Amino acid sequence: MQKRIFQLALFTSFTAFTVNAQRTYEFENIAIPVAPDDGFEWELQDDFSDDFNYPDGMGKQSPLFTSKWDDSYNPDPAFKGPGATFWTTANSAINNITNRLEIRATPHTLDGDGNVNSVFCGVVSSKTKVRYPIYMEASIKVANVENSSNFWMLDSGGFNEIDVLEVYGGSPDPFFSQQMSTNFHIFDRQGPNGAINVDNTYQTFFQTNRDIPNYQTDNTGFWRDDFHQFGVYWKSPNEVTFYIDGQPTQNGNHFVEGRNASLLDGTYESAILQSPIPNDGNLPIDKGLLKNQVFREVFMIMDIESHHARPISPRADLEDSLKNLMEVDWVRTYKPVDDGSGASDRTRSITFKNRDTFIPAGEAEPAFSLGAVVPLDIEYATASTGGVEEDLNYVAIQIRQLDENGDAVATSEFEAVIPNEGPNRANTTINYSVPTEFENGTKIPTTEELPAGHELILLMFMSVDGDAGFANADDTIVIKAGRTRSISFNNKDSFIAPGGVFPEFVIGESAALNITYATALAGGVEEDLNYVAVQVRQVDGSGATVATTAFETVVPETAVNNDTVTVDYTIPSNFTTGADNSIIFTEKVPTTAQLPAGHRVLLLVFMLVDESDTGFAQANTDIVLKEQGDNTLTVGDFNTNNTAVAVYPNPAYKKLTIEGAFTTWKIYNLLGIEIAKGTDPEVNVADFIPGLYYVIFDNNTTNSYKLIKN
């Protein structure tokens, strides 16, 4: 594509700022694919826009480049790059012939056989950060290598990430080279750029032919074959829409094994949490909370990366200048600004949107229970006049008691639910924990306990411009007694043998389990009981599921919501379901003595509410499983009144010494499983798991000794 020439004179006499202000960009005749809201128009953000047409011929040294870009990773300058990536300034350049930004991947280090094991990659970041509402778009031809070509945004702490383009353009697997992904990441980190506790990922794949509803490699091309426009309209913290070649994304899929695969459009609203995988027992994060939304200022980044656990391109491809190249023809960013029509003006407001959902049948006021967590839908907006917005200070909630004259008697602690970095207007859900005490430490009364003429109100209020102005939404409410969701295995201790630790059961025999359960009750509104069920599960040393027995419902959905029952549960002899929740098999349930090292057996007693996976109350416990006639030792079998031997050091770390009158010894863990035996007076315990053990001598359980392993 031929670039347009700058409309300026005496170029060398202008500063970079003046030059940028007078530039005419080649993308200006390409329509922005989304319209701003009424009363707004798009305004180009020059600090985040470029067509890399530099008539001074200075490339990256041009003030036109250095005024807005750095050839480095600005979110965390100390980070070398993910996986096998080593970012380097040498792998980014401005081509003065094509007038494009070039980013390359080349070999960094080789193994003894000459294969590449780390990769030099180019990266370019914006010098400054930008935040919603914006439309960002780039025209890019991705590299024809295994490495990922990327156009994305990240804040300086690494908490919020938007990936507009991520594609392994040269992968021989068409799954990766014919599909590109859009991603949101909401990182839970141990501080800015710290270790990641949880990567909450929303991911959708798109093909070059987006009219095809399912992944079919014969009917779609490769992203590397041509330039494409990759855009994103980041309208608010929970409104993000991707655009490809000027069209909003549609018919996306997710085909990573074990993750959700369905028709997805890539928007934040419809995004399905893909990591951690909800199917594995992780509930999706609450996208209604600001902390789980994309709201931070971000850098714009264009780069190539060699990701962890992904193949590294062959050396020949990384040394091929036609294959190792990602080209950026242009990048542009626009913000919506007031168009002068007055249509963008708005008044300050705050509204309790879902008030009616908390009103019990036959009553007039919303009802809540002390201590209950309730989802409050709040719509708020700061004022805007002539395109000038009030600054948000906070949105907060309180409970207040008023007397018969309407004067405040007591108020609960102030809770800011939207901080000042939140959006100036939003419709959001706040999970509000109804307080049990006022700020002065006195108990918040239920409505029945109020003095005559008094009332309780729920205050939702917004502060703007440093407390200069407030908008309030106060509502009379009813406080009722409530209860929390719970379930308990009441007679657990009756199954523990004398001196034992865990309940013991015999495979195939019936056990009478006494269970108390209750759904939650908030403001007079009950959760719906779905069921109470029991299972036996085997887990490994990390707690991950190995296998589970058949699901047995012991209290059906037709039962009352709050009860104590005794159920006869037969301890099953066979598993039915594997760890992936789909493989059906009939392996025998092992006794505790037969378990692999570190594995445990659990008895799961759990309740599900509201006809979905949104609410569990669990009463799970480690158990010991035996067979009829099983001679596995229990803790109660041991007698530690032994004076015939000496065992030292105790606690022991690596080596244990036994002295005294004995012929043989055996060591058991707390589950009564034999883990070592011998005759040597010196015992290597270095590989033992730290904890309490029992040593018996000459097969006599009355001749035993307690041992602590450090």
As annotated, the active-site residues are 161, 166
Per-residue HEC secondary structure of 27-67 comes to: HHHCCCCCCCCCCEEEEECHHHCECCCCCCCCHHHCHHHHC
Q: Which two tokens stand for residue 13?
A: 């006499």
Let me know: does 354 contact 376? Beta carbons within 8 Å.
yes
What's the angle, vertex CA 10, arms to CA 6 and CA 11, rounded to 5? 50
In DSSP terms, 148 is beta-bridged to 305
CA dist 676 → 626, 692, 694, 696, 702 (Å): 20, 14, 11, 11, 18
The answer to whether the CB of 607 falls within 8 A of the CB of 487 is: yes
Tokens 């030292």 belong to which residue? 648
Whether the CB-CB separation of 55 and 6 falls below 8 Å is answered with yes
Degrees to nearest 5, angle at CA 29 with 34 and 211? 50
Instruction: Give the whole-angstrom CA distance, residue 105 versus residue 205.
Output: 23
φ, ψ dihedrals at 494, nearest 5°: -70, -15
| Residue at token pair 């959700």 | 260
**CA 303, 65, 243, 274: dihedral to nearest 10 degrees?**
30
d(CA 373, CA 37): 35
Token representation of residue 146: 């295994």
Q: Distance (Å, rounded) from C-alpha 79 to C-alpha 127?
A: 17
307, amino acid identity: H
DSSP 282: P
**One-letter amino acid for residue 147 of the chain:** N
